[in-house]
Amino acid sequence: MLPAKDGNIYVPYEKRSGNESIVYFTRDLSSEGLRKIYAKIAARITGKVAIKLHTGEPHGPNIVPREWVKDLIAEKLPEAHIVETNAYYEGGRYTTKLHRETIKTNGWTFAPVDIMDEEGTAMLPVKGGHYFTEMSVGNHMLNYDSLLVLTHFKGHVMGGFGGSNKNIGIGCADGRIGKAMIHTTPGQPNQWDINMEELMERISESAKATVDYFGEHIAFINVMRNMSVSCDCEGVAAEPVVTPNIGILASLDIAAIDQASVDLVYSLSDKDKAALFERMQSRHGFRQLSYMHELGMGNIKYSMLDIDNNDAKISLKEAVKDVKPFKG
């Protein structure tokens, strides 16, 4: 069965076809767990390293814990830079000045933080795109040899979910040109008029520009913890977390890691998955996955390897069978 082009249709794993990628999994939601799973995909991360993560709006409650990232950099990536771009909406990250204040407020002070569009933009080619032939990104991105995409997996008010694809598709596009290309039809007043399938496809084409730029030197980690239906861009206004924590995933395949993250949510009990799954489905977010596959960005089938048990293959149901109800 081909992946559904309708972004509100979830295609179960057993009905998919194609090649499989490797996705690593750990239940260990800790600094040590992050370091261990990073080691599984670390060989691709060489030279001058950028770590793309969402540093959050001021006092954001659900972002990846700073201590985990601090320990990862200190032990594994001592010369790495955290990278971000300015936001498209007015708030704590709208300008470089405000963004730097927010970065300090949120505790990202243990490593250099490069706001990649601080000094301008660059255009990267989008190969095989329907909407774009090129995408505008922060021009500092071209200063790096490798990119580690470190993502807090969660819901999103427009994208349905925010995984690795959204982290770089929106997060590497610069704050004025690139993000406008994704979100806004030129010449009309609503800056958020593009949504549903078209938005998912534009996000994925933008992400493809970054994936293609780094080639063999890009890797992905999704942290499935504190998963509100809201994005970290909503900060303290985010909806309360009701979905259980699951674990951490890592892969060299952006489509596979986001698909596996969605599949793990789907594998929860009906009660536990209800809020987050409804957010994904109602925003037609599954189109991110099928369109990445169509663009040749990766596979929507995978083998999940449990690093807590000597890389033994693990099923989705086994991975989530011991999850606990979320406690704030």
Taken in order 98, 103, 104, 106, the sign of the CA dihedral is positive
User: Is 40 a domain residue?
Assistant: yes
User: Is 67 a domain residue?
Assistant: yes
pLDDT of residue 4: 64
As a whole number of Å, the CA-based R_g of the chain is: 18
Amino acid at 115: I
User: Is 280 a domain residue?
Assistant: yes
One-character DSSP codes across 20-50:
EEEEEEE---SHHHHHHHHHHHGGG--SSEE
- Per-residue pLDDT tens digits for 181-233: 999 999 999 999 999 999 999 999 999 999 999 999 999 999 999 999 988 78
pLDDT of residue 232: 79
- Per-residue pLDDT tens digits for 88-133: 999 999 999 999 999 999 999 999 999 999 999 999 999 999 999 9
Q: Is 307 a residue whose pLDDT tops 60? A: yes
In this prediction, residue 1 has a pLDDT band, given cuts at 50, 70 and 90, of very low
User: Is 99 a domain residue?
Assistant: yes
Mean pLDDT of 49-74: 95
User: Is 8 a domain residue?
Assistant: no
Q: How many domains does the chain have?
A: 1
CATH of residue 236's domain is 3.40.50
Q: Tell me the residue range of the domain where 23 lies.
A: 13-320
User: Is 87 a domain residue?
Assistant: yes
CA distance 182 to 199: 7
pLDDT of residue 235: 76
In this prediction, residue 3 has a pLDDT band, given cuts at 50, 70 and 90, of low
User: Is 260 a domain residue?
Assistant: yes
Mean pLDDT of 74-83: 98
User: Is 128 a domain residue?
Assistant: yes
Mean pLDDT of 48-77: 96
CA distance 239 to 35: 29
